[in-house]
Amino acid sequence: MWTDARIPPQPAADERPMKRHHSARYYAHRVKESLTTRVSKLICAIVLGLLFLIGIISFILWLSLRPHRPRFFIEAFSAASPAVSFNVTARNSNQNIGVYYDSVQVAVFYQDDQRLGGGAALEAFYQEPKNTRAIGGAATATGQQWDQIAADRARGEAVFRVEVTSVIRFKISSWDSKRHRMHANCPVRVGPDGSLLPINVHTRCPVYFN
């Protein structure tokens, strides 16, 4: 049987490509679905970006407005005689926050629990940001207490504690915080001559509220 060489061979039925016909509505739906997905992703990205930015700004504001407790340091202390003297500094380390103090009470203790004396060292005052205030005073040891102090000094060192108490509140712009009862406990050691040991000079005192 003769075949015409000009007619290309036809593929088998199972090898012929399948033609799919979709309507214009189908393609329009696919385009709309793709745009909706992209818009949704864009909106989510914008919302997440805004939330992240708000979080960063809030954290920075919190750091700048969070008040730091006053810092107290032992600067000088002398137990060369029964008239014990001391010098403490109060430091407001806040950048933009002031501190109101009620009257500042100071007491001196020997061996942590024997009170030598104390009283009001400062009247009520306002401390500006980044400001340091000196608090000085004295206490007198009784005869028996002084005998113990002299004996400890002769053995190498005598241990004292200076306690500073006050009621404070913070001033943030035009807003004042609630009142806090503040305590600062400053450990002190003096040598055989009654002078403050170098290890305690400018020692930062623990501060707590109640």
Residue with tokens 């016909």: 21
Give domain status of residue 122, yes or no. yes
Q: Say if residues 153 and 104 touch (Cβ distance below 8 Å).
A: no
d(C-alpha 86, C-alpha 108), whole Å: 9
Residue 194's pLDDT is what?
Answer: 94
Residue 51's pLDDT is what?
Answer: 85
Could you tell me the two tokens for 141?
A: 């040891």
Looking at the structure, do residues 138 and 169 belong to the same domain, yes or no? yes
d(C-alpha 136, C-alpha 104), whole Å: 11
Q: Say if residues 140 and 78 touch (Cβ distance below 8 Å).
A: no
* DSSP H or E run through 10: none
Q: Say if residues 102 and 168 touch (Cβ distance below 8 Å).
A: yes
d(C-alpha 149, C-alpha 147), whole Å: 5
Give domain status of residue 147, yes or no. yes
Number of helices and strands in the chain (H, E): 2, 12
Looking at the structure, do residues 141 and 81 belong to the same domain, yes or no? yes
Give domain status of residue 15, yes or no. no
Least confident of 12-21, 34-43, 131-140: 12-21
Asked if the model's pLDDT at residue 1 lies above 50, the reply is: no
Q: What band does 16 get if pLDDT is binned at 50, 70 and 90?
A: low
Looking at the structure, do residues 59 and 75 belong to the same domain, yes or no? no
Residue 41's pLDDT is what?
Answer: 80
Q: How many alpha carbons lie under 13 Å from residue 206 in its C-beta half-sphere?
A: 5
Looking at the structure, do residues 92 and 163 belong to the same domain, yes or no? yes
Asked if the model's pLDDT at residue 141 lies above 80, the reply is: yes
Residue 121's pLDDT is what?
Answer: 85
Looking at the structure, do residues 164 and 197 belong to the same domain, yes or no? yes
Looking at the structure, do residues 198 and 139 belong to the same domain, yes or no? yes
SS3 29: helix
More confident residue, 28 or 146: 146
Per cent of the chain over pLDDT 90 is: 54
Asked if the model's pLDDT at residue 18 lies above 60, the reply is: no
Could you tell me the two tokens for 179?
A: 């009142």
Q: What tens digit of pLDDT does each residue of 168-209 get?
A: 999 987 788 889 999 999 999 999 999 999 988 898 999 999
- pTM, 2 dp: 0.69
Asked if the model's pLDDT at residue 3 lies above 70, the reply is: no
How many domains, the chain? Answer: 2
d(C-alpha 148, C-alpha 150), whole Å: 5
Residue with tokens 């002190």: 188
The whole-number average pLDDT for the span 121-144 is 92
The whole-number average pLDDT for the span 144-164 is 94
Looking at the structure, do residues 94 and 110 belong to the same domain, yes or no? yes
Q: What is the CATH number of the domain that holds 189?
A: 2.60.40
Q: What tens digit of pLDDT does each residue of 21-76 get?
A: 556 665 555 656 677 777 788 888 888 888 888 877 766 665 556 788 999 999 99
Residue 174's pLDDT is what?
Answer: 77
d(C-alpha 76, C-alpha 91), whole Å: 16
Quick one: which of 102, 87, 111 has its CA closest to 165? 102
Q: What tens digit of pLDDT does each residue of 66-114 get?
A: 788 999 999 999 999 999 999 999 999 998 899 999 999 999 999 878 9
- Domain span including residue 141: 71-209
